[in-house]
Amino acid sequence: MIINESGNWFVEHTLSPDSPKLAIPQSARDAFGVLGWGEVKTLLEENPEKLKPYLEEARPYFSSLNYDSPISRKYRTIISDFWNFVKANGTPQGQPESTIALAKGNNDLATARYNHNYAISGLYDIAIENPNWFQGTPERGWKLARDVFFPEVPVLKPYVNIHLSGTPYGQVDVVSFARNDISAEFLNKQYKALLFAGWNTCSEKQYKLLKEYVFNGGTLFLSLPQLSTNDTRSLNFAADSLVNSGDFSELCGVKVLDRGDNIYWATVPIGSDKLGCTFPRRFGVLGVPLGKIDIIDENLEILIVDDEQARPVVTLHHYGKGKCYFLNTWTYPGALAIDEGPGSLLGSAGLLGYIYRAIANDSRGYVWISDDKTKPGASCDYVAFSYFPEAGRICLLNIDFEQEHTIWLHQFGMCEKVTLSPAEFKMIDTSK
């Protein structure tokens, strides 16, 4: 059961073919238009007789939606079954584990879902004059993050599913960097990995915080634009706007000198498999500019290069106890959604998807799920999974109402096959 209260009576009465409310005549709406509750109340008080004919017209349909109607009985049965389950099993104590956090950067004003027709914060008058104020590549990064960590598989087909998702990598938090009011100590305590997705206006304070997080053992992903101090919504930021004058040698192992040339394809260097793919896997056609960089760390790992001159696109730098994945493009990560090259796969979420998945697989806790005893795949996309360390309990839900799905459940070094029937929910005690 999906409960969607907002505007429910009006929506079901006018738009929902599977609701008995749709069968009710539309005569009153045709006569009065769409009335707010205050207007209806006034009409009932001042001229109730005017509504009487429409009430009589609707009365034959009341049995299909009153307290004793089939749909109301089904609703109460579902709620009752849920309450009986909670009484018998309780709710797990504490909070579910999240080893990964998505960073909502400073000045990141993205909404819940990406829509390139939306103006940032509803500022349409500004966006008409300056299209940078429409949602764009910064906000698209959040869509790619959702595709990886909260895949909306087609469980409501033929209808579009925007309500249910699996959590193949477990629960993933969103942490706010608004005004940089957060500490490295908190981040290190809570999360093994911190991944930037959308807009970020960097600062010296934030840069120091990120260095501390990595140095103390965290894994960080961010891109070149997310290290800019730009606060004007300009996507054409200059090199002199980069924090620390572009010297990211400690955090990223490189110095950024200037904006570089646009590239077509990105590919995996021969012999590298760090991101879960190998040469000649191609990503693109990207059409994005790189940063001109000096490599400071002689042990810097080059994970992705452009295919014409092998210029670094994605690098990995070790700093202290942690490491930093750096995307060396002058565009936000959302620009890397295009994946139409040799070896491209459906639902890959592009190059960013490979980066996110590689980091997620490297940042597991003691409890995780997989398709093949190695990593999550298509089956895990249908499983909402959470682990409650304080309670010692694991929750698994098959969000597919029609098909069973089989996964491998890993906990504290042990592994067992689990098959979930359609819509089945399981609560399992951990081995430790």
How far apart are the C-alpha atoms of 196 and 286, rounded to whole Å? 20
pLDDT in tens, 165-216: 999 999 999 999 999 899 999 999 999 999 999 999 999 999 999 999 999 9
Q: Which segments of the chain belong to CATH 3.40.50?
A: 100-361
Backbone angles phi, psi at 62, to 5 degrees: -60, -35
Instruction: Give the pLDDT band of residue 3 (cuts 50, 70, 90).
Output: low
Beginning with the edge strand found earlier in the chain, give each strand of the sheet holding 312-319 in spatial order.
172-176, 100-104, 193-196, 219-223, 322-327, 312-319, 301-306, 266-267, 282-283
22 torsion bin: left (phi>0), alpha (psi -120 to 50), beta (else): alpha
Instruction: Tell me the one-letter amino acid at 364.
Output: R
Q: Which segments of the chain belong to CATH 2.60.40?
A: 367-429
Q: With H, G, I as helix, E, B as strand and everything else as coil, classify residue 426.
A: strand
Give bridge partners of residue 415 from the DSSP assignment: 410
Instruction: Tell me the one-letter amino acid at 29.
Output: R
CATH topology classification for 367-429: Immunoglobulin-like (2.60.40)
How far apart are the C-alpha atoms of 322 and 215, rounded to whole Å? 5
Class of domain 100-361: alpha beta
State the average pLDDT over residues 351-365.
96
Q: How far apart are the first and last CA of the chain?
A: 33
Instruction: Give the pLDDT band of residue 5 (cuts 50, 70, 90).
Output: low
**What tokens were used for 158?**
């033929």
Mean pLDDT of the chain: 93
State the average pLDDT over residues 273-291.
93
Q: b/e for 43-74, b at 16 or more Cβ within 10 A?
A: eeeeeeeeeeebeeeeeeeeeebeeeeeeeee
Q: How high is the pLDDT of residue 9?
A: 65
E-strand stretches of 6-152: 100-104
pLDDT at 358 over 80: yes
How far apart are the C-alpha atoms of 264 and 308, rounded to whole Å? 8
Which 8-state DSSP code applies to residue 313?
A: E
pLDDT at 407 over 70: yes
What are the distances in angstroms from CA 2 to CA 67, 84, 163, 385?
Answer: 19, 19, 8, 19
pLDDT in tens, 108-152: 999 989 999 999 999 999 999 999 999 999 999 999 999 999 999
pLDDT in tens, 211-261: 999 999 999 999 999 999 999 999 989 999 999 999 999 999 999 999 999
pLDDT in tens, 67-79: 888 888 988 998 9
Q: How high is the pLDDT of residue 207?
A: 98
pLDDT at 380 over 90: yes
pLDDT at 26 over 60: yes
Backbone angles phi, psi at 84, to 5 degrees: -65, -40
Note whether 194 and 300 are within 8 A (CB). Answer: no
pLDDT in tens, 315-348: 999 999 999 999 999 999 999 999 987 778 888 8
- Cis peptide, bond prior to residue 53, ω within 30 of zero: no
Work out the burial of residue 344: count CB atoms within 10 Å of its CB; fewer than 13 is exposed, 13-18 middle, 19 or more buried. middle
